[in-house]
Every structure is written in structure tokens, then in C-alpha cells.
Amino acid sequence: MVKTKKSFIERITGAKKIEDGGIRESMPIYSEDEETEMVMNSGSFSTSYSAPQEDEDYSDDAEGQLTIDVYQTDNDVVIKSTIAGVKPEDLDVSINNDMITIKGERKNEERVSTENYYYQECYWGSFSRSVVLPVEVIADKIEASLKNGILTIRLPKADTTKTKKIQVRGF
């Protein structure tokens, strides 16, 4: 039997291909590398869950995407995210032009055998999220804090409505 690499969704959800000889339709799936076909079952739908096996070939470069809230106050753009189980020193928050990037890693401290899981829904591993900022901010005055598993980043808005006088010097 040829071992095929599972997609990210298959690894996260534990989805499996159903081989029951039912009516099948194919649908083109486009990826960055090549065009493949996905076979869809017209018949039964399986809702059984199977936890991923430890010996499966997981890609080390797969990252989880961080969920965030972004809102504004009169003076700030505020980004909030739940980052439970991550130490502040394991977080990397950086800003480049009009984009802020949050990176980190959630480490599972204990090893549990796959057959001992009833549910396995928590994401363990590296994660990142980049956000294009809706307004200009003052990068030197950005503050980030982590309290009770909530990361809060306050980005002071740059006041672009003020007109700044520039003195012209003659030589």
C-alpha cells in the first residue's frame, strides 16, 4: 500500500477517505504545486472521528493560524488574542510598515498515547498571524501585554489630520 501525505485539513480533523464503492463524482482541486482531483461520495456521510496516529508524516512547517479581534478606540488600534499556555518570552511580535506579525509556539509538556485520547482538539505547535493595519500607527509606542492567557497589543494611531509646518532654510 502506497503511503500518501495527508493534507492539513485531514491531519487536523482526522478525516479519512471512504472506500465503499458508492457513486463518486470528481472535482478539481487547485494547489500551489499541482492540480489534483478530490473524490466525493454521493452516498453515505461518515461522522466518526479518529485521532491522528503518532507515526503519521506530519510536516514540521505547518503552522496554526492565530484567532484575533482587531478594533479601534479614539486613540489606539487594539489587537486581542487568546494565547493560553504560551509564555511571554515564547512570543514574537514585530511590525513592518503597515503590517504586524504575531508568532509563537504552544508546547505540549506531556506525551499521551493516541489511543488514550477521547478528544484531541487543542492545537499544539507553532502559530502565526499577520494583520494589515487599517490606519497609520506610531511604531515606537506600541505596547503588548499578556494577562490571563489574553494577548493585548495597543498600537497608538498616528494623527494624520494635523498639518505640520516645515520651515524652509535658505543657504
Query: How far is the C-alpha of 52 from the C-alpha of 54, rounded, in Å?
Result: 7
pLDDT in tens, 122-168: 888 889 999 999 999 999 999 999 999 999 999 999 887 777 778 88
Query: CATH number of the domain at 64-156, out of 2.60.40.790, 1.10.10.10, 2.60.40.10, 3.90.850.10?
Result: 2.60.40.790
In this predicted structure, the answer to whether residue 18 has a pLDDT above a threshold of 60 is no
CB-based contacts of 32, cutoff 8 Å, min separation 6: none
Q: What is the CA radius of gyration of the chain?
A: 23
The domain ranges of the chain are: 1-55, 64-156
Biggest alpha carbon–alpha carbon distance for the chain: 87
| Mean local confidence (pLDDT), 83-108 | 90
pLDDT band at 91 (very low <50, low <70, confident <90, very high): very high
pTM: 0.57
**How many CB atoms sit inside 10 A of residue 48's CB?**
6
Higher-pLDDT residue of 80, 63: 80
Pairing status of strand 69-72 against strand 64-65: unpaired
In this predicted structure, the answer to whether residue 34 has a pLDDT above a threshold of 60 is no
At residue 11, the 3 state secondary structure works out as: helix
| Mean local confidence (pLDDT), 69-81 | 94
pLDDT at 132: 93
pLDDT at 92: 93
